[in-house]
Amino acid sequence: MVQQITAAKAAAMIKPGSRVAIGGFLAAGAPESIIDALVEQKIGDLHIIVIASDWEDRGVGKLVVNRLVKSAQVSHLGTNKAIQAQMNAGEIEIELVPQGTLMERVRAFGAGLGGILTPTGLGTVVEEGKQIVNVDGKDYILEPAIASDFAIIRAHKADKLGNLTFSKTSRNSNPIMAMAGKITIAEVDEIVEIGELDPEQVCCPGVFVNYILKTGEV
C-alpha cells in the first residue's frame, strides 16, 4: 500500500533543485496544499513541468511569485504576469512547449520511452537545434522524454492502494503527470478503503503513486 503523509512532509521530500511535474490547468486540479507547503518551507531552485503557470495567487503561480522556480517547461504563460516579468528580465529560464507535445513527452518518460516524433513545430522556432527524422517521406521533430524527480498531483479520491479518481475537468493533466515522477505524491479530497472505488472510474492506477495526503492536512 502507498504511504499516507501530510503536505508538510510531502514538501520536505522535495529538495531544492528538484525537477517537479505538477498537475492541473489554470489551477483546476492543482495540488494546492502541497504547493502552499513548498512556499511555507521555501523549497526553491525548482524546475517545474506544467501545462500553465496559472495565476499569481493560485496554483503554481504561488511558486513563481515567491521566486522558488528557476526554470520551467510550460505551454501557457498568459495569465501570470509575474512569470512573464521574470522571463523578460532573464530571472527564470522558460522552454515553451506546445501543449500536446509537452504531455506526450511527459507520458513518454512514464512509459519508459526515449522520446516522441511529432510534426508540430516544423518550420518554426520550435524545431531550431533539434533532430529531424524522416519516416516514410514525412519529417518529424525528435522530442526527448521529459523526466521528473517528483510529480505532485491532485485527485478526488484515493484508495489505500493509491488508485485515483478525478472530479470533472480537474482530471486534465494529472494522470499523465503521475506517470512522470520517480516519486509521485497525490493530494486528494478523500481516502477510502480498498474495494470502495469502482474500477471503471479509476483513471490513474496506484502503480504510479507512492504517497497520498488529504487536502488541507498540513
Which residues, other chains included, contact 72 with Cβ-Cβ below 8 Å and sequence gap of 6+? 47, 48, 49, 50, 53, 83, 92, 93, 94, 95
Compute how many other C-beta atoms are within 10 angstroms of the C-beta atom of residue 47. Answer: 18
Residues 21-44 pLDDT 10s: 999 999 999 999 999 999 999 999
Cα–Cα distance measured from residue 90 to residue 158, given in angstroms and rounded to the nearest whole number: 40
Q: Calculate what percentage of the chain has a pLDDT beyond 90.
A: 97
Distance, in Å, from the CA atom of 54 to the CA atom of 41, rounded to the nearest integer, reads 21
Per residue in 94-138, pLDDT tens?
999 999 999 999 999 999 999 999 999 999 998 999 999 999 999
pLDDT surpasses 90 at 68: yes
* Average pLDDT of every residue of the chain: 97
Q: With 90 as the cut, is the pLDDT of residue 217 above it?
A: no
| Rounded mean pLDDT, 199-216 | 96
Q: For residue 65, what is the enclosing H or E element?
A: helix 61-65
SS3 category, 47: strand
- Please answer whether residues 46 and 18 qualify as being in contact, where contact means their C-beta atoms are separated by less than 8 angstroms: yes
pTM of this prediction exceeds 0.75: yes
Q: Domains of the chain by range and CATH?
A: 3-100+146-214 (3.40.1080.10)
